[in-house]
Amino acid sequence: MKPSSTITVSSVLPSALEPLRELALNLRWTWRRQCVDLFRSVDPEVFADVGENPIAMLPRVSAGRLAEAARDESFLARMRDEVGDLRTYLDSGRWFQRTVPDGIGTGAGTSPSIAYFSMEFGITPTLPIYSGGLGILAGDHLKSASDLGVPMVAIGLLYQDGYFSQSLDRSGWQQESYRHNDPEQLPVQPLSGADGEQLTVAVTLPGGREVDIAIWRAQVGRVPLLLLDTDLASNDEGARQITDRLYGGDHEHRILQELVLGIGGVRAVQAHTAVADVPAPSVFHLNEGHAGFSGLERVGRLLQAGSSFAEAVAEVRAGTVFTTHTPVPAGIDRFEADQLRGYLDADESGLSRLIPALPVEAALALGIEEGGDVFNMAQLGFRIAQRSNGVARLHGAVSRAMFQDLYPGFDVPEVPIGSVTNGVHRRTWTSPAMDDLVTKAMGAVDVSALSDWSALATLTDHELTETRDTLRADLVEMARTQVRESWLRRGADEAELAWTGTILDPHALTIGFARRVSTYKRLTLMLSDPDRLRRILQDEERPVQIVIAGKSHPADRPGKEFLQQLVRFADDHGVRHRIVFLPDYDIRMASVLIAGADVWMNNPIRPEEASGTSGMKAVLNGGLTFSVSDGWWDEMKDDDAGWTIPTAAVGDQGERDRLEADALYEILESRIVPLFYERDARGMQRGWMTKVRSSLVTIAPRITAARMVRDYVSDLYLPAARAAAAFTAEPALAGAFSSWKEDVQAAWPAVSVSSVVLEGAEEGRAATGSEVTVAAEVQLGGLSEEDVLVEAVVGPLADDDEIIEPHLIPLQREQDGRWVARVALPFPGEIGCTVRVTPQHPVLAHRAELGLVATA
């Protein structure tokens, strides 16, 4: 019988339990075990049913159980302890407060505040606004910034449907579905004004079409995360769908999302600053190019205040940091220039209606590629930010080569793109079992704040073995459940799935592989020789098992074909007990898979992996790394802590895949498998656990997000804050710098270097350790000596007669007008020398910044 009406019944939280809501609305609970245990104890069954989401759980707990908890003094004491701990955490001075002096920021007595923009944030499955690595990295960044006390506000989008949920059809083809996100079920609250109403901002699209944007706030420890939402009744249907799906839709949909994130985000930050009564951010960090339009919005605001375009760009650049995450051009957002020109919507005077006072063509020039037809969001990022970085040392080098054309005349090593290697939030990604071992060895301290983890070398083989066995068993149990549920969704009958209860062996060597399924990550490299892989998996004495997960973008057909190929292999009756694919990879699944894997495998095409962080999380749990020398492993690889798959030096990709697959199989068969199954007289894995201890001691301290955020603060945020503060303290600086830059650019064609001589070398020869004098004639074209930096470039010669690993030695102008420097020759061999001139000014962060150089 169908009902004639329906009603939703929710439990009312007793006043004594009201602090539970305070705890639930601060996402610090996601990395505090005691708080998770507190929520679970309210009603374990309901907590599990709602995916461990306390916001969704509390209305569903029965009134009787809530009343019982409200009378339970033991429970109330635990709750009060958690509330007290949270408030102490929020109010106490932390690393940043102890380290960074006041006065570096918007004015005397203040510290810099950072606005951190990202298209996605992976903080918890209960806030499903992430897809993969970029979002997880952003979430870990916020958590560690909170732990360190870094004053930060973050900006993202509140997606109605988030990223897709993954399932498989009977043939193994990926299927996508979307779940609607109800804000009432999420750990977010409206950002309200003085009148108690939710604050909104707006952007105006062509034709006077105004899009209203609601602002929600999620609290990530000490960091407010502002989430923008266009699903409002005041908007038309198209506008309501702007924030519907993460990475969904076509280029037009992506442009609209990025306009909302960048322009709406800056306006939301201004609104938040006013209602929260906090200092306005002095540093803006763009996590990928998606937020590039935030820079244009800030330029427009300065233009409205009376600055010229050049002055506004200079001031915005000073306080902006840009992080690029892709080492391949295909990973960059590129839009048709005319399409973007239409959205900027110039009026009859050429000024944008979208961003008032912004000259459209001048703004477009910041991102236009050569040829003028394509607008490149990464180029906008580099041109609107004075400081930029890749996310691993190798990725920084790759990025410098990718974007060398933006800095003509400079060799790749001098392109002003640095690197901050990614890290992972230790408390989020260390399993409780391993965390207990760490605490036992190092005490109840914030381990992430320490660089010396040598105390972990005292962990015994027995302790490590017991913990690793527990984590592997947890993974096996989870995988059996997931595989069974996946087959039911694929249309299998319950009666034919008994085999899923016995797949995998809790004592066998377990390899984890979980990545976004794109072609360069080479999911199917392990299938290059299927028969050889079968022999490895099916070895009766020394079996190997592989647990795999990952999503392919809905529009990535080649990636889906790779996934289907892998799934079909895993479906084979002969190996399905040894290799499994787990659909719908998310944070919750990752925490079990990563912790349970003995070995974490990563085999991208070098150097196309920007950083990768999943292997870092495995390290924190006693897993060992088996990877191509790419991303973070390239700079941290250690034979005592893992294994490196050699990179084949061949041009043909098919042959390279074959050679690297052979190397993968060989290392697995001859080194990894024997070591895992080697036992001493007591049955212990002495050799394996020695390697685990080495990994924990030498690698783990270097891969924490706490180290990463400290690097951002010292290398990027504080220099950017000082640069931004200089413009604030000296209002005339922007105009003076802009005038100086115009003068330099106008004079530069007349700047030249000639008559370079080496004095003190007999017939072009000199003894090692001797000194020579470099002298040159330099024409400054009307510039002053203070406007330029004259340097000798000295270094060994490569086969093509190019100077490599150059040393830069400043020259001084002497009374006779020549520029001279003394140069030591500490090493033998063919040494090359030239002299060059570059602009210098206190506002410039790098000699290559203006792309101007004159060379002999």
pLDDT in tens, 674-726: 999 999 999 999 999 999 999 999 999 999 999 999 999 999 999 999 999 99
Among the ranges given (93-107, 523-537, 552-566, 646-660), the one the predictor scored with the smallest mean pLDDT: 93-107
More confident residue, 439 or 831: 439
Q: Which pLDDT does position 799 carry in this prediction?
A: 82
Q: Is 704 helix (H, G, I), strand (E, B) or coil?
A: strand
pLDDT tens across 190-211, in order? Answer: 999 999 999 999 999 998 999 9
pLDDT score for 242: 97
pLDDT tens-digit map of 282-304: 999 999 999 999 999 999 999 99
The whole-number pLDDT of residue 108 equals: 46
Q: Would you call 501 exposed, middle or buried from its count of C-beta atoms within 10 A (0-12, 13-18, 19+)? A: exposed
% the chain with pLDDT above 90: 86
Query: Angle 432-442/461-489 helices, nearest 10 degrees?
Result: 160
Per-residue pLDDT, 5 = 67
Distance CA 766, CA 758 (A): 10
Is the confidence at residue 826, as pLDDT, over 80? no
Structure tokens at 576: 């399905």
Model confidence pLDDT, tens digit, residues 456-510: 999 999 999 999 999 999 999 999 999 999 999 999 999 999 999 999 999 999 9
For residues 655, 564, 527, 607, the Cα torsion angle rounded to the nearest 10 degrees is: 50
pLDDT at 6 over 80: no
Of 230-239, 272-281, 467-476, 798-807, the range with the lowest mean pLDDT is: 798-807
Which helix (H) or strand (E) segment holds residue 453: the answer is none
> 692 with 562: CB under 8 angstroms?
no
CA distance 647 to 631: 13
With a cut of 70, say whether residue 638 has pLDDT above it.
yes
Return the axis-axis angle of helices 33-42 and 63-71, rounded to nearest 10°.
120
| Cβ neighbours of residue 649 closer than 8 Å, sequence gap 6 or more | none
Backbone angles phi, psi at 162, to 5 degrees: 60, -145
Average pLDDT over the chain, rounded to an integer: 94
pLDDT digits (tens, 9 = 90+) for 164-183: 999 999 999 999 999 999 99
Each residue of 41-61: pLDDT tens digit? 999 999 999 999 999 999 999
pLDDT > 70: percent of the chain: 98
pLDDT reading at 778 higher than 60: yes
Q: What is the pLDDT of residue 824?
A: 84
| CB-CB contact of 855 with 820 (8 Å) | no
pLDDT at 406 over 80: yes
CB atoms under 10 Å from CB of 490, counted, come to: 17
Write out pLDDT tens, residues 105-127.
544 445 789 999 999 999 999 99
Are 388 and 410 in contact by the 8 Å Cβ rule? The answer is: no
pLDDT at 804 over 90: no
Paired residues of 322 in beta bridges: 286, 388
Segment 308-330 shows an average pLDDT of: 94
Q: What is the pLDDT of residues 719-751, one digit of tens each?
A: 999 999 999 999 999 999 999 999 999 999 999
Q: Is 398 exposed, middle or buried (0-12, 13-18, 19+ CB in 10 A)?
A: buried
Range 565-576 average pLDDT? 94
pLDDT for 110:
59
Q: Which of 206-210, 517-521, 608-612, 665-669 has the highest mean pLDDT?
A: 665-669
Using alpha carbons, select from 362, 356, 314 the residue that is nearest to residue 341: 362
Question: Per residue in 246-273, pLDDT tens?
Answer: 998 889 999 999 999 999 999 999 999 9
Could you report how far apart the first and last alpha carbons of the chain are, in Å?
Answer: 91
Mean pLDDT value of segment 31-37: 97
Determine the residue type at 68.
E
Rounded (5°) CA angle 681-541-573? 150
Helix (H) or strand (E) holding 550: none
